[in-house]
Each structure stands twice: as structure tokens, then as C-alpha cells.
Amino acid sequence: MTEYNDTERQAKQRKESVRASFMDSLMLETQMHVVRNETIEEVARHIEKLTGFGQDTISSFAIYIREMKK
């Protein structure tokens, strides 16, 4: 019976380890998306400050850049 309990405990530990690893990678991916989206938004705001093109062209550039967000 003790051998069964040890096997059961080890299986639970492995399962928890896999779950924790998955959650860590999911959190990291989410953080990466946040940083990416913030960077893209910053670029779009700077594009909107350009003066060398018409306002419609600038707006189109900014929209195109913002569509790159995930």
C-alpha cells in the first residue's frame, strides 16, 4: 500500500509541476503581449506627430500600426 501511495504522490507532484510550468509560460506570454502592445501604441502615437504627409495618410499609418497588436 505504501508503494501505491508513493506513486500516487509522485504523480500528483509531476502534475502540479507541469501545471505550474504551463502557468508560468502563459504569464510570460501575456506579459510579452502587454509590452508589445504598449510599444506598438507608442510608435503609433509618434507616427501621428509626423507632418510630412497629409492627415489621412498619417491616420492610415497609425491604424495599420495599431492593427499589429495582439
pLDDT tens figures, 18-46? 999 999 999 999 999 999 999 999 999 99
What is the C-alpha separation between 63 and 67, in angstroms, rounded?
A: 6
Q: Give the structural domain span for 7.
A: 2-66
Number of separate domains in the chain: 1
> What's the pTM?
0.71
DSSP 7-59: HHHHHHHHHHHHHHHHHHHHHHHHHHHHHHHHHHHHHHHHHTT--SS-HHHHH
Assign 62 a pLDDT band (cuts: 50, 70, 90).
very high
Query: In this structure, what C-alpha cell is assigned to residue 43?
Result: 510608435
